[in-house]
Chains A and B, each alone.
Chain A
Amino acid sequence: MELERRILHLLENNARLSCKAIATMLDEDEARIKNIIEQMEKQKIILGYNTIINWELLGNDGVTAMIDVKVTPEREVGFNSVAEKIYRYPEVRCVYLMSGTYDLSVVVNGESMKDIAWFVSHKLSTLDHVQSTVTHFILKRYKQENFIFEEPEEDRRLVVSP
Chain B
Amino acid sequence: MNSMKRYISNTVESIPPSGIRKFFDLVTQMDGVISLGVGEPDFVTPWHIREAGCYSLERGYTMYTSNQGLLELREEIAAYENRRIGIEYSPEKEVLVTVGVSEAVDLAMRALLEPGDEVLVPEPSFVSYAPGATLAYGTAVPVPTYDIDQYRLRPDILSHYITPRSKILVLAYPNNPTGGVMYEEDLEALRDIIIKNDLLVISDEIYSELTYYGRHVSIASLPGMKDRTIMMNGFSKAFAMTGWRIGYACGHQDVIGAMTKIHQYTIMCASIMGQKAAIEALRHGETEMRKMVDNYNYRRKLILSGLQEIGLDCFEPRGAFYCFPSIKKSGMSSEDFCEKLLWEEKVAVVPGNAFGASGDGHIRCCYAASIPNIEEALERMDRFLRRHKEIRISNIV
A interface residues with partner B (beta carbon < 8 Å): 10, 14, 17, 21, 24-25, 27, 155, 157-162
Contacts and interface: CB of A to CB of B under 8 A. Distances in A.
B163 to A, nearest CB: 28
Given A14-B371, A17-B371, A21-B371, A158 B38 contact: yes
B306 to A, nearest CB: 8
A10, A24, A157: which has the most chain B beta carbons within 10 Å? A157
Given A21-B371, A27-B301, A157 B42 contact: yes
Interface string B292-319: 0000001101100100000000000000
Nearest to B306: A24
Interface string B59-102: 00000000000000000000000000000000000000000000
B335 to A, nearest CB: 13
Interface of B: 18, 20, 23-24, 27-28, 33, 35, 37-40, 42, 126-128, 176, 298-299, 301-302, 305, 348, 350, 371, 375
A160 B350 CA distance: 8
**Is chain A's binding surface mostly helix, strand, loop or mixed?**
loop
B348 A159 contact: yes
Max chain B C-beta neighbours (<10 A), residue from A17, A21, A157, A162? A162
A150 to B, nearest CB: 15
26 contacts: A14-B371, A17-B371, A21-B375, A24-B305, A25-B298, A25-B299, A27-B301, A155-B35, A155-B42, A157-B38, A158-B38, A159-B24, A159-B37, A159-B38, A160-B23, A160-B27, A160-B38, A160-B350, A161-B24, A161-B37, A161-B39, A162-B20, A162-B39, A162-B126, A162-B127, A162-B176
Contacts of A10: 298
A162 B348 contact: no
Contact of A25 (B38, B127, B302): B302
A160 B302 contact: no
A-B interface, 6 closest residue pairs, ranked by CB to CB distance from nearest = A160-B37, A25-B298, A160-B24, A159-B35, A161-B39, A24-B305
Nearest to A17: B371
Contacts of B27: 159-160
B182 to A, nearest CB: 21
Nearest to A157: B38
Contacts of B23: 160
B218 to A, nearest CB: 23
Contact of B35 (A17, A25, A160, A162): A160
Contacts of B302: 21, 24-25
Contacts of B35: 155, 157, 159-160
Contact of B348 (A17, A21, A155, A160): A160
B301 A158 contact: no
A25 B301 contact: yes
- Which of A157, A158, A160, A162 has the most chain B CB atoms closer than 10 A to its own CB? A160
B98 to A, nearest CB: 17
B301 A24 contact: yes
Contacts of A27: 301
Contacts of B28: 159
A85 B40 CA distance: 53
Contacts of A14: 371
Contacts of A17: 371
B33 A159 contact: yes
